[in-house]
Amino acid sequence: MVSLEYLLPAAFLCDLLFGDPRWMPHPVKGIGRLALAAEKALRASGLPLRIAGVLCVLVVVGGSAGSAWLVVAAANLLHPLCGAAAAIFLLYTSIAVKDLGDHAGAVRDALESGDTGLARLKVSWMVGRDTAGLSEEGIALAATESVAENTVDGVTAPLFYALLFGPVGAVAYKAVNTLDSSFGYLNERYREFGWASARLDDLANWLPSRITVLAIAFASAVKRFGFFDIFKAVRRGARLHASPNAGYPEAAFAGALGVTFGGPRSYGGVVHEAPLLGVARNTCSADSVRRSIGLMRLTAVVFLAAGLMSRVLAERLW
């Protein structure tokens, strides 16, 4: 059986080279379909919505993790190389370094070319806020914030669980994240049914979001960004964020890039005031988007390298 120390770098390289081609079957799409089917069945069961939501989490996360284990086990029965290929595929599809950079890069390119309309369209694919009336500064802010937040959801958290539990852990995390994206809303439909999905996502991201700050700091030092401002920004603002986890990578990115995140933003026509994060009162621009992409990519490399070294050290000690 091929060691995870070889499988995970191979999967990471696949993501950097290929991203997620639209024609390729993707496990997250299957997880999404399973989540919707489970929701429909459990709502029809007549159970209290919060209990139904807990059962949905158990079905989707357990089913996803179990399916990943079965796929790798069955492939290993054919040949160890088939098992390695299956594991690499599952790990590769759990990471989104290239896609995150490409989406943000499309926004940056549109801003640099002066096509504000195209930039609004591209950033609407990255964020949930209303984008129709965003200025160039607002577009750059939305894209840069999205890169910061998704550095955890799309990059370091999947790596964290992959390092601990291999492809099964990575797929289980993607199931948790997909459930939160599907049901973790504080509206009438999902306040009760989505409670377990939202709470589990908060729990799953708690440690990765905080470890990621250290990886951001190391990457920032290499790039000669605002190393010390990272810790000032996190200390001052991370806990002000509505999410118990998103404030940490966002504040760290704001400190590193020397910009301010937060301020007013509209969701469904309703304006919300997000807390200001960062220590410098500079606004975002196309250059901020460009620098955030580079910081995200190097943070991913640092996180993976540190995780692999930790695994090797732990194996030698134990």
What is the per-residue pLDDT across 85-130, written as a single tens digit (0 to 9) for each?
Answer: 999 999 999 999 999 999 999 999 999 999 999 999 999 999 989 9
Task: For residue 22, name the pLDDT band (cuts at 50, 70, 90).
Answer: confident
Q: Is the pLDDT higher at 315 or at 311? A: 311
pLDDT of residue 276: 95
Cα–Cα distances in angstroms (integers) from residue 213 to residues 72, 122, 195, 286, 299, in the given order: 32, 27, 27, 23, 9
Q: How far is CA 253 from the centre of its chain?
A: 14
pLDDT of residue 291: 98
**What is the spatial distance between Cα 147 and Cα 142, in angstroms, rounded to a whole number?**
9
Domain interval for residue 160: 4-317
| Residue whose structure tokens are 């054919």 | 78
pLDDT cut 90: percent of the chain above it: 91
What is the total count of domains within the chain?
Answer: 1
Query: Token pair of 287, please?
Result: 């250059």
pTM for this predicted structure: 0.95
From 213, 186, 214, 278, select the one nearest 240 (Cα to Cα): 278
pLDDT of 191 > 80? The answer is yes
**What is the spatial distance between Cα 70 and Cα 62, in angstroms, rounded to a whole number?**
12
pLDDT of 247 > 80? The answer is yes
